[in-house]
């Protein structure tokens, strides 16, 4: 007993008091900024593994970006990744970062369905389905609930059964072999329900986009409520994105 | 010559691999596996001049070399099974059967491995996997998955139980299959292949990318400089610390030991946050690259890391001491999920799962690469093969890794500022790369064509061997002990399904 108390004492407080403003350590690659400097653009696209980088004008699609930083390494004066982790949004269009425009990424309030704020603002239970995810986004989604990030304090939790869930969090490019279980899981969640795509693989297929072993037809017939970019996602990107979605936080100027 | 002997990270001409008739091939390789210091690191096939060329790589852990031999077969041919003599070939033969329709006579059951998109039998579907069944009024079946209760990858577990007791567990995988080996050929840019390697198994991003980078440099006849070797070794040991610590947290969760679960869980954070400080990614994706070093390790980072490790070690030791003395934990860990030494040898376990049954099998010691020759690694061995042994190995390996990192940091190589781009890979070449990830040995094999382009790429994650061990471990256990056994192995689904 004494030992247990000692451990608690030694561990002190581990939670991040404010997950919306905390600064992440190190050189985290979040929101990129693209300058208007002129460079040989034909070589630029070549350094991107997933075709996230395109030219005329230069832009990066964060839904395809693996955040490997290769472009920033090759063209440091053209592309920089900032530590801004709030890059989740509900509009696929808003994930595209354009040359010269230094603008934060927010949710589009017009796209948030009415019932989301009404039912889920105080409590949101999510069912996670890995459909070809490599395990890294899954690790980070798990970390969202640990004592550091403590997502549970906002009433957001992962649950074991789709019957208890208000929504689905998909990771991975959606393999053929997972297409049916994913659909069954979605159908088992009671209405109203939301869908969140977590990670580059889920949003665009990432490096697996043109693999013959994936089947992304599920996404053709369902509305996506939140895109969380990253490879893997950062817990803070996920938590902030979900909070913005359910609490309908206003766009900050 | 019945096989060619090569070292880890060595390239040879493809036609220097002896092509044996199947009978000799079978005799040679099954004879090799009779010794405990030999184990099969890879056995696979690929289409070559209208035939299926089978390549078998047996590692000799005593003499630090790998014995490679080959034979030619026809698709859909019937051949006598090697598994009759050595069960370690069982999974490899199932894969060959799935990919090429080769019938192995005498194999226990040629079940599909992962329902690959390019499987030979296009009519087979993951929906109707042939499970083992026992007809009995007293027994019942429990099906779990593919989607699990937690936030983990999918796989289906089918238990046959007598009351609460598990008689048999069958594990069906393949749900995660992304066709990654084919993508290695399809995606021709080096950065794309790096990205693929990083995504093979997310918890072993460093392990798999190091295997790829070492292999690619071998194919390009490029001798990596000390700074590159240093980074890879350091990252591998950090990855080991992070995942083992996270596993200990998960194991505490599974026996409802809340304090351990919370403290081990939070102790993982400073380690992966250090990866973020080093390379901008908590899983260390984008850190390892063949032939260049996007994130050089600096003296400032070294100082930071020493601080992180100092406070980590104190807290880690404190919570370990408490956890490993708590009756509530020991009561669940000890004598649960046992794999015997005989079982482990016969099915060819690798990595931590082999070492917990007193098999001295660790690539860092037997086939050292990068900076490991200078660390003179001594593997940590346990004898009981139970959950407790696996927990002890994790605990002791974390401490060992901390020691290795401190040793590495004492003599840091200077960053090479004059790296040249890699030359093109050699034509008609076979190369093999082995890396001891935290889970066990990772094996990548590559073959190039006459123009030096990748003709075949083969990946083997340690999970490929070790999933069977989980099935054996839980026999005669209570079904409620399954989660703790599962977590103690922590095998990869994506790494297996590819």
pLDDT of A252 above 70: no
Residue among B154, B279, B283 whose CB faces A130 most closely: B154
By C-alpha distance, which of A82, A27, A30, A74 is closest to A48?
A: A74
Cβ of B205 within 8 Å of Cβ of A136? The answer is yes
Least Cα separation, residue B152 to chain A (angstroms):
6
Q: Does A253 reside within a domain? A: no
How far is C-alpha A77 from the chain's CA centre?
27
User: What is the sign, positive or negative, of the torsion defined by CA atoms of B367, B369, B375, B377?
Assistant: negative
For residues B468 and B94, give the distance between their C-alpha atoms in angstroms, rounded to a whole number: 13
B83-96 mean pLDDT: 92
By C-alpha distance, which of A253, A233, A251, A238 is closest to A28?
A: A233
Reported as a single tens digit per residue, the pLDDT across B50-79 is 899 999 999 999 999 999 999 999 888 999
| Residue with the two structure tokens 């098999």 | B359
**What is the helix (H) or strand (E) element at residue B457, kind and residue range?**
strand B454-460
Cβ of A135 within 8 Å of Cβ of B146? The answer is no
Half-sphere exposure for A222 (CA within 13 Å, toward CB)? 20
Q: Which residue has the higher pLDDT, B195 or A25?
A: B195
Q: Are B372 and B404 in contact (CB under 8 A)?
A: no
pLDDT at A251: 44
For residues B59 and B359, give the distance between their C-alpha atoms in angstroms, rounded to a whole number: 14
pLDDT of A133 above 80: yes
Reported as a single tens digit per residue, the pLDDT across B261-282 is 999 999 999 999 999 999 999 9
Report the CATH number at residue A241: 3.40.50.12280
pLDDT of A129 above 90: yes
For residues A3 and B322, give the distance between their C-alpha atoms in angstroms, rounded to a whole number: 7
DSSP annotation of B335: T
Q: How does residue B195 score in pLDDT terms, banded at 50, 70 and 90? A: very high
Cβ of A132 within 8 Å of Cβ of B178? The answer is yes
Q: Does A91 reside within a domain? A: no
pLDDT of A18 above 90: no
Cβ of B285 within 8 Å of Cβ of A231? The answer is yes
For residues B16 and B8, give the distance between their C-alpha atoms in angstroms, rounded to a whole number: 16
For residues B263 and B261, give the distance between their C-alpha atoms in angstroms, rounded to a whole number: 6
Q: Does A92 reside within a domain? A: no
Q: Does A45 reside within a domain? A: no
Cβ of A138 within 8 Å of Cβ of B151? The answer is yes
Q: Does A129 reside within a domain? A: yes
Q: Give me the interface pTM, i.e. the ipTM.
A: 0.91
pLDDT of A137 above 90: yes
pLDDT of A73 above 70: yes
Which residues of chain B lie closer than 8 angstroms to A146, CB-CB?
262, 265-266, 269
By C-alpha distance, which of B420, B423, B459, B454 is closest to B441?
A: B459
For residues B404 and B57, give the distance between their C-alpha atoms in angstroms, rounded to a whole number: 30
pLDDT of A42 above 80: no
pLDDT of B103 above 90: yes
Q: How does residue A10 score in pLDDT terms, banded at 50, 70 and 90? A: confident
Which residue range(s) make up the domain with A147? 109-247
Q: Are B425 and B220 in contact (CB under 8 A)?
A: yes
DSSP annotation of B123: T
When divided into structural domains, chain A yields a total of: 1
Least Cα separation, residue A132 to chain B (angstroms):
4
Q: How does residue A248 score in pLDDT terms, banded at 50, 70 and 90? A: low
Q: Does A76 reside within a domain? A: no
Residue among B176, B279, B283 whose CB faces A175 most closely: B176
pLDDT of B435 above 90: yes
Q: Are B166 and B474 in contact (CB under 8 A)?
A: yes
Q: How does residue A118 score in pLDDT terms, banded at 50, 70 and 90? A: confident
Structural domains in chain B, CATH included, are 4-113 (3.30.460.80), 180-497 (1.10.645.10)
Q: How does residue A253 score in pLDDT terms, banded at 50, 70 and 90? A: very low
Residue among B127, B154, B192 whose CB faces A49 most closely: B192
A217-246 mean pLDDT: 94
Q: Does A41 reside within a domain? A: no
User: What is the sign, positive or negative, of the torsion defined by CA atoms of B120, B124, B127, B132?
Assistant: negative
The CA-to-CA distance between both ends of chain A, in Å, stands at 51
Q: Does A75 reside within a domain? A: no
Residue among A69, A142, A173 whose CB faces B178 most closely: A173
By C-alpha distance, which of A239, A240, A156, A168 is closest to A197?
A: A168
Which residues of chain A lie closer than 8 angstroms to B259, CB-CB?
4, 7-8
Which residues of chain A lie closer than 8 angstroms to B322, CB-CB?
3-4, 7
Residue among A26, A136, A139 whose CB faces B280 most closely: A26
| Residue with the two structure tokens 């066990």 | B440
Which residues of chain A lie closer than 8 angstroms to B206, CB-CB?
none
Q: How does residue B119 score in pLDDT terms, banded at 50, 70 and 90? A: confident
Q: Are A163 and A189 in contact (CB under 8 A)?
A: yes
Q: Phi then psi for B91, rounded to 5 degrees? A: -70, -40
Least Cα separation, residue A18 to chain B (angstroms):
17
Least Cα separation, residue B282 to chain A (angstroms):
8
Reported as a single tens digit per residue, the pLDDT across B197-251 is 999 999 999 999 999 999 999 999 998 899 999 999 999 999 999 999 999 999 9
A50-76 mean pLDDT: 91
């Amino acid at each position: 007993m004494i030992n247990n108390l000692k451990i608690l004492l030694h561990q002190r407080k581990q939670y991040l008091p404010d997950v919306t403003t905390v600064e992440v350590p190190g050189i985290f690659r979040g929101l990129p900024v693209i300058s208007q400097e002129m460079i040989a653009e034909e070589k630029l696209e070549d350094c991107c593994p997933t075709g996230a980088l395109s030219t005329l004008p230069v832009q990066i699609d964060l839904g395809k970006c693996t955040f490997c930083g290769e472009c920033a390494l090759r063209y440091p004066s053209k592309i920089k990744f900032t530590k801004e982790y709030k890059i989740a949004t509900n509009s696929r269009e808003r994930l595209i970062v354009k040359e010269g425009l230094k603008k934060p990424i927010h949710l589009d309030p017009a796209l948030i369905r009415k019932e989301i704020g009404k039912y889920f603002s105080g409590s949101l239970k999510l069912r996670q389905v890995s459909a070809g995810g490599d395990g890294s986004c899954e690790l980070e989604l798990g970390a969202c609930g640990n004592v550091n990030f403590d997502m549970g304090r906002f009433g957001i939790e992962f649950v074991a059964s789709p019957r208890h869930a208000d929504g689905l969090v998909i990771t991975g490019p959606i393999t053929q072999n997972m297409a049916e279980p994913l659909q069954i899981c979605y159908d088992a969640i009671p209405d109203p329900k939301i869908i969140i795509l977590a990670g580059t693989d889920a949003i665009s297929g990432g490096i697996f986009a043109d693999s013959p072993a994936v089947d992304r037809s599920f996404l053709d017939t369902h509305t996506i409520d939140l895109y969380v970019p990253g490879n893997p996602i950062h817990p803070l990107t996920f938590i902030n994105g979900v909070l913005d979605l359910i609490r309908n936080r206003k766009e900050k100027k | 010559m019945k096989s060619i002997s090569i070292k880890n990270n060595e390239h040879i001409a493809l036609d220097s691999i002896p092509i044996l008739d199947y009978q000799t091939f079978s005799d040679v390789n099954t004879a090799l596996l009779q010794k405990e210091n030999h184990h099969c690191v890879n056995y696979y096939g690929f289409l070559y001049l209208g035939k299926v060329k089978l390549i078998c790589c047996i590692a000799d852990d005593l003499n630090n070399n790998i014995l490679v031999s080959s034979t030619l077969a026809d698709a859909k041919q019937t051949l006598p099974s090697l598994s009759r003599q050595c069960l370690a070939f069982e999974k490899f033969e199932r894969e060959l059967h799935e990919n090429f329709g080769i019938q192995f006579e005498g194999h226990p059951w040629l079940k599909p491995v992962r329902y690959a998109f390019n499987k030979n039998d296009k009519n087979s579907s993951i929906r109707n996997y042939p499970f083992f069944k026992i007809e009995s009024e007293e027994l019942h079946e429990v099906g779990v998955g593919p989607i699990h209760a937690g936030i983990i990858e999918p796989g289906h577990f089918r238990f046959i139980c007598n009351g609460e007791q598990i008689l048999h567990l069958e594990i069906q995988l393949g749900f995660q299959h992304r066709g990654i080996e084919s993508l290695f050929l399809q995606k021709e840019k080096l950065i794309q292949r790096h990205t693929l390697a990083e995504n093979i198994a997310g918890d072993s991003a460093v392990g798999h990318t190091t295997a790829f980078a070492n292999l690619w440099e071998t194919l390009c006849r490029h001798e990596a400089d000390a700074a590159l070797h240093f980074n890879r070794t350091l990252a591998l040991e950090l990855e080991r610390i992070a995942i083992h610590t996270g596993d200990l947290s998960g194991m505490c969760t599974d026996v409802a030991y809340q304090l351990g679960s919370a403290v081990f869980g939070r102790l993982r954070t400073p380690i992966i946050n250090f990866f973020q400080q080093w390379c901008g990614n908590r899983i260390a994706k984008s850190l390892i690259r063949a032939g260049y070093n996007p994130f050089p390790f600096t003296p400032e980072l070294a100082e930071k890391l020493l601080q992180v490790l100092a406070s980590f070690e104190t807290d880690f030791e404190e919570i370990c001491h408490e956890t490993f003395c708590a009756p509530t934990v020991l009561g669940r860990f000890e004598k649960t999920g046992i794999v015997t030494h005989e079982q482990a040898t016969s099915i060819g376990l690798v990595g931590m799962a082999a070492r917990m049954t007193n098999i001295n099998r660790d690539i860092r010691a037997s086939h050292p690469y990068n900076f490991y020759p200078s660390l003179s690694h001594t593997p940590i061995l346990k004898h009981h093969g139970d959950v407790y042994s696996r927990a002890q190995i994790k605990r002791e390996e974390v401490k060992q890794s901390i020691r290795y990192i401190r040793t590495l940091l004492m003599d840091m190589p200077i960053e090479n500022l004059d790296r040249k781009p890699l030359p093109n890979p050699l034509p008609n070449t076979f190369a093999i790369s082995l890396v001891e990830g935290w889970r066990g040995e990772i094996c990548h094999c590559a073959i190039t064509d006459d123009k030096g382009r990748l003709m075949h790429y083969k990946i083997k994650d340690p999970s490929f061997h070790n999933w069977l061990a989980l099935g054996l471990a839980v026999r005669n256990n209570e079904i409620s002990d399954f989660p703790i056994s599962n977590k103690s192995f922590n095998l990869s689904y994506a790494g297996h399904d590819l």
